[in-house]
Amino acid sequence: MKWEVQLNGSTDDLRELAKSLTNDDLCITERNGQFFLETTRFSGLTTREELNSEASKILSILTGAVRLSLVGRTPLRIANIAKVRKDGARDIFHSASATIRARVSCGVKITQSDGTVKVVNPADKVPIWVNVALKDHRVEKALQLFGISKHDWVSLYSLLEVIVEDVGGIDKIENEDWATKEEIKRFKQTANSPAAIGNSARHGKNIPPPSDPMDLKEAVALVKVVLHNWLRSK
């Protein structure tokens, strides 16, 4: 028995992923304008509930990885789950309306010293990140938090906490030159202070703002740099 999982998301994101996710462990293929997720992790699953659970877990991780590598903001979801019979007929168990959004993205051509040209696609690191996440619950959680449709102070703070706990403290982050203690302190104090960011703050109590509060755009950039470096270390 073979399972077929059709994907729902940005066509451009899925096309970029299809360039980089090409092996049996994790593969996205395009057929007639539709995109399908294939993975050896589906082998042995016998019910649609098991398949839906495993596919949803992978897609929640992929959504964060796509947002980190492609700046995509459309969540990847299941459009259809089908069980393919031996005669080729399909039993469809789950369906959802398609979501299509356009965004320009392309690979970078690098000419190497021997004259050969290598194309580096934006999503080339995604399969590495996903495979690590499927074995490491902290990486899984971090990518899921980064994939939340709208970044906010709470999710960013939680994501940074995951990384700090994993590496053993802020000192490690500073020693690795991912960010300074001062940057992280300013981020945390801003995130916790209603006086700095109003109702978006993690706490309601009166926590004084830093002298130079961080805006959300700067906070996203800080966490993104730390996340990139942490994933590279993994």
CA distance 196 to 40: 48
Percentage of the chain beyond pLDDT 90 is 64
Token readout for 126 is 């995604």
Q: What is the pTM of this model?
A: 0.83
Mean pLDDT of 181-189: 96
Tokens 């830093």 sit on residue: 210
Model pLDDT for residues 161-184, shown as the tens digit of each residue: 999 999 999 999 999 999 999 999
Which residue did the predictor score with more confidence, 67 or 95? 67
Euclidean distance between the first and the last CA atom of the chain, given in angstroms as a whole number: 35
Domain ranges of the chain: 2-120, 150-233
Model pLDDT for residues 71-129, shown as the tens digit of each residue: 877 899 999 988 877 777 777 776 544 343 334 344 443 444 555 545 557 899 999 99
Q: What is the rounded (10 degree) CA torsion for 188, 190, 193, 198?
A: -140
Model pLDDT for residues 40-56, shown as the tens digit of each residue: 999 889 888 999 999 99
